[in-house]
Amino acid sequence: MRETPVLIDGPVGQLEALYLDLEDARGMALICHPNPVQGGTMLNKVVSTLQRTARDSGLITLRFNYRGVGASAGAHDMGSGEIDDAEAAAQWLREQHPELPITLFGFSFGGFVAASLGGRLEAKGEQLSHLFMVAAAVARLGNEHVLPQNCPLTLIQPEADEVVDPQAVYAWSDALERPHELLKVAECGHFFHGKLTELKELVLPRLSN
């Protein structure tokens, strides 16, 4: 099963994306990639692993490049612009399959994007299936960014993360008042070198329930 390249109308022009449709899918997954300033794209290997995991769980998948990345129009905003892009991608998915629930994934900077998007979608009446924040840039989540409250939330944090401070994520988790789970991955750096199988094994059972 190969993903199909698609172009999505974004807020500042077209967004480059990869879409995988499945027959008899039980849901959809939108995957948000890491920081474009540090080379993050939708082809990042953690994003690719999350896409395959969602696919193997029977979910239609969409990953996309933010503005200014790859063939996506515009320039980096490093904030609300990328959330706007993710919202356009979610809207596109919703139009393809009005009846299916959406699961959100975000890696690194994409964790900030996915969390913020989740709050926006929920405010519009969307019932999300799950939010996964992987090595998420939680320091970017200010008071203006509202997390979704009504879906399961899973935080996956490498214990030897050299990009996102693990202690900051643990402290953020401790202060988070809504129910969630925090999964720590031992002897693992930010990009899950040698640990991608472990990442898949953490995510897969949480998608199948």
Domains of the chain and any CATH numbers: 4-208 (3.40.50.1820)
Decide: residue 56, CB within 10 A, 0-12 exposed, 13-18 middle, 19+ buried.
middle
Percentage of the chain lying above the pLDDT 70 cut:
100
Render pLDDT for 87-125 as a digit per residue (tens, 0 to 9).
999 999 999 999 999 999 999 999 999 999 999 999 999
Encode pLDDT of 6-15 as tens digits.
999 999 999 9
Residue 138 is classified by DSSP as G
Q: For position 209, what pLDDT does the model report?
A: 63
> If you ran DSSP here, which 8-state letter would residue 148 be given?
P
> pLDDT (tens digit, 9 = 90+) per residue, 162-176?
999 999 999 999 999
The count of residues in the chain is: 209
pLDDT score recorded for residue 208: 77
Mean pLDDT score, 21-40: 95
User: 8: which residues sit within 8 A by CB, 6+ positions away?
Assistant: 14, 15, 17, 64, 88, 89, 92
CB 100 within 8 A of CB 27: yes
Q: Report the SS3 class of residue 111.
A: helix
Q: Are 70 and 85 in contact (CB under 8 A)?
A: no
